Amino acid sequence: MKETNENSRRKFVKQALTGAAAIGVGGVLPGFSAKSYASILGANEKVRVAAMGVNARGLALTTNFADQKNCEVIYVCDVDSRAANRCISKVEDIQKRKPVAQEDFRKVLGDKSLDALIVAAPDHWHAPAAILASQAGKHVYLEKPCGHNPNEGELLIKAVDKYKNVIQMGNQRRSWPNVVAGIKELHEGVIGRPYFAKTWYSNNRASIGIGKVAPVPSWLNYELWQGPAPRREFKDNLVHYNWHWFWHWGTGEALNNGTHMVDIARWGLQVDYPTKVSSNGGRYRYQDDWEFADTQVINMEFGDKGAITWEGRSCNGSPVEGSGVGVIFYAENGSLQIDGDNGYKIYDLKGKLLKHVKNEAKVNTGSLTNPSQVLDAIHIQNFFEAIKKGEKLNADIVSGHKSTLLVQLGNIAQKVGTTLDIDPKNGRILNSAAAKKLWSREYQKGWEPKV
């Protein structure tokens, strides 16, 4: 009898979590053992979570959490009643127990039985929600980017230091076994000393048009949706996805997708804060309300340690190096490429393929909401291990802030039109008063995040 996709998916996760997949790539994931993964599978005590923001990516993420046998989703929180109902139905089908609907996530944080909050709301909510959850003694699974602006990343680090909770950022590839193996080979010198990483993302996004002021839909609590952001009139081209392209709520393609690959690049080069950041590009394809660049190249220098570039093309999906998303490291003796899937390739200096570790789980890099459910489950289990046993996170908030900051600085450089000199000790902007003003943002009175 042919194995179903669901059975195949569960089999892969079980193999990965018991060490079979990890052993196959030359070792277990960072900070883990095959024994610790096995113990997760047999755990009786479940991590009880609430999900905030469940319309698209949040829906996929919440159902993935619900599918973990050592987890129970007990609350679904969304300002869109339609999204909440859809998510509740899917979660109930999975775990055979109906989560409670609560429009305002803040009202569930007082529940002592709640262990963690999943934050998958729009970007302007990421850090404020995570900080509120931290203050309530909850752990946080925080979708990228970790903050809307650099100051919020610094606040998150202070929150973890103060409240001693666990915040795992959704840089899921930090847990993908073959990506881990590829970076391990890179660090061990398989192609010599790496000094340059090129990252990219491409898509064929349509125009968002010119929005018109419109009545707030009956299914949407727009006041709560805005939350920390200063109030603006509702327009018909904002909710749900298009908020990404407005500075007021979103962070553009650089943080929406660039964060993932720039994080791998920083990880591979073993660098922290840059010395210079510049950006070139613009909104070239359409004339509409989109405020960020749809075509952008961010350059990040790290003194004599090397450099990273990110190329983002939101409106032209032509691939780079054969892939729509990826990172390639250049080194003394060759190059190593990691695409959007769980695999990598090693080339010599002439471009000859020396090794190809192929992906063993399907990854749909074109999906906007759930490209890699099977692999992301490993990242979720890492989060649980950190909560239950104090294991090391694969994507802690310090690392998450450093990677997020790189593309935030790129957007700031793009907006002010100048190369930024950066303090390599802390990532702070040194030379531009205009850029320094963008380190934080204005908040709606009474909603300012504080630690």
pLDDT at 146: 98
Counting the structural domains of the chain, the total is 2
pLDDT-derived band of residue 371, with 50, 70 and 90 as boundaries? low
Q: Are residues 120 and 225 in the same domain?
A: no
Residue-wise pLDDT tens digits, 165-194: 999 999 999 999 999 999 999 999 999 999
- Pair (341, 407) in one structural domain: yes
**Mean pLDDT throughout 68-88?**
98
Residue 251 shares a structural domain with residue 326: yes
Place of tokens 């003796």: 333
Confidence tier at 241 by pLDDT (50, 70, 90):
very high
Domain for residue 390, yes or no? no
In a domain, 255, yes or no: yes
Picking from 85, 131, 78, 117, the residue whose alpha carbon sits closest to that of residue 240 is 78
Q: 147: which 2 tokens? A: 């903050």
Residue 99 near residue 76 (C-beta atoms within 8 A): yes
Q: Are residues 100 and 38 in the same domain?
A: yes
On whether both 243 and 357 belong to a single domain, the answer is yes
Examine the domain organization and report whether 269 and 195 are in the same domain.
yes
- The whole-angstrom separation of Cα 103 and Cα 125 is 14
Q: Are 130 and 195 members of one domain?
A: no
- 198 lies in a domain? yes
Would you state the pLDDT for residue 362?
61
- 184 within some domain: no
**pLDDT for residue 361:** 65
Share of the chain above pLDDT 70, in %: 88
Do the domain assignments include residue 319? Answer: yes
Q: Per-residue confidence at 45, pLDDT binned at 50, 70, 90?
A: confident
Mean pLDDT of 292-298: 98
Q: What is the pLDDT of residues 124-153, one digit of tens each?
A: 999 999 999 999 999 999 999 999 999 999
- For residues 106-114, give the mean pLDDT: 98
In this predicted structure, the answer to whether residue 44 has a pLDDT above a threshold of 60 is no
Identify whether residues 197 and 153 lie together within a single domain. Answer: no
Q: What is the CATH number of the domain that holds 20?
A: 3.40.50.720
Whether residue 392 is contained in a domain is answered as no
Chain mean pLDDT for the chain:
91
Q: For residue 367, what are its two tokens?
A: 């999906």
* CATH number of the domain enclosing 344: 3.30.360.10
22 and 57 in a single domain? The answer is yes
Is it the case that residue 229 has pLDDT exceeding 50? yes
Domain membership flag for residue 180: no
233 and 115 in one domain?
no
Domain of 145 in residue numbering reads as 5-173
Give the CB-side neighbour count of residue 295, counting CA atoms within 13 A. 11
Q: Is 449 domain-assigned?
A: no
Domain ends where: 143, 173, 203?
173
> For residue 15, is pLDDT > 70?
no
Write the pLDDT tens digit of every residue in 199-219.
999 999 999 999 999 999 999
If one compares 26 and 55, the residue with the highest pLDDT of the two is 55
**76 and 50, same structural domain?**
yes
What is the token pair recorded at 64?
A: 């993935």
Q: Say if residue 207 is in the same domain as residue 278.
A: yes
- In this structure, how many other beta carbons lie within 10 angstroms of the beta carbon of residue 283? 18
